[in-house]
Amino acid sequence: MGRLIAVTSGKGGAGKSSVSVHLAAALSNMSNKVLVVDMDAGMRCLDIMLGVSNVLLFDLNDVLNGHKTISEAAITVPSVGSGLHFIAAPLKGKINPEGLGDFVAEACLIYDFVILDFPAGAVDELYSALPRYCEALVVCNADAVSLRDAAIMGADLDDLDFMSVRLVLNRVSFENMRRGITANIDEVIDESGIRLIGVVPQSMDIYMSCCSGQALKKKSRAAKAFQRIAKRIMGYDIPLVSYKKI
């Protein structure tokens, strides 16, 4: 059975969707079959980041309402390869929570990893529809506002009794940490109260990739950061690198 990962954040702008996209690509590049699902109804963006907007025919509600199967709705992401598939959120209306549990259970039988990219903000009925074997990744930045919101989100997710809740620290600037403008790694862990699984640098490569719908260059710092997170998720013992190598 595959693993289910919900990616979320306490506030908008933390880079949650870019983490979902590039983590999914990293897992796919490690010979996993991966499905990434946009859960942000009405405000979807992953189709643009993945470069597949012009080929979408169906969305998540088509599957949840029984009009299409997962295999009919999921499309391959050409920029990454045949191992990464995508299902879009609906552009109108809300995601129907009824059937979401059955959907992810079936998807986990087909894929090694199912990544759900949730909208930022409070836990709602969609989270409650997920099975307890779900794992959660909370994405935050090192500023005080993002850390406070991540701590609140982490506590809410703990109440759902998911299998695990871990933190991805995104858009990290070593210079800002060195100058004390943002929290350092130890302060991030203490203030969020969430176990850290990875650190992603502030990167123009990520911005350009999300704008163009193309994959990250495999030797870029950003790609290596997502590779490390993917390996940790898969159970490899990968130590944190020094600030200057983030």
Which CATH number does the domain housing residue 25 bear? 3.40.50.300
Residue 78 within any structural domain of the chain? yes
Q: Which domain holds residue 201?
A: 3-233
**Average pLDDT of the residues of the chain:** 92
Q: What is the pTM of this model?
A: 0.95
Whole-number Cα distances in Å, 72 to 59, 90, 94, 213:
10, 15, 21, 22
Instruction: Find out whether 88 and 47 touch, Cβ atoms under 8 Å.
Output: yes
Q: Could you tell me how many helices (H) and strands (E) the chain has, helices first?
A: 11, 8
> Could you give the count of Cα atoms lying within 13 Å of 104 in the half-sphere of its Cβ?
27
CB-count burial class (<10 Å; 0-12, 13-18, 19+) for 45: middle
| Average pLDDT of the residues in 47-63 | 94
Residue 37 within any structural domain of the chain? yes
Beta bridge partners of 136: 6, 165
Residue 246 within any structural domain of the chain? no
Q: Characterize the bridge pairing of strands 113-117 and 135-140.
A: unpaired
Residue 158 within any structural domain of the chain? yes
Residue 92 within any structural domain of the chain? yes
> What six digits make up the tokens of 233?
């998720």
Q: Count up the domains in the chain and report the number.
A: 1
Residue 243 within any structural domain of the chain? no
Share of the chain above pLDDT 90, in %: 74
Tell me: the pLDDT tens digits for 169-181? 999 988 888 888 9
Contact residues for 34 (Cβ-Cβ < 8 A; gap 6+):
24, 27, 28, 83, 84, 85, 111, 112, 113, 114, 115
| Average pLDDT of the residues in 204-231 | 91
> What six digits make up the tokens of 192?
């969020």
Q: How confident is the model at residue 244 (pLDDT cuts 50, 70, 90)?
A: low
Predicted confidence at residue 245, as pLDDT, reads 61
Residue 32 within any structural domain of the chain? yes
The residue behind tokens 């993002």 is 146
Tell me: the pLDDT tens digits for 4-49? 999 999 888 899 999 999 999 999 999 999 999 999 998 889 999 9
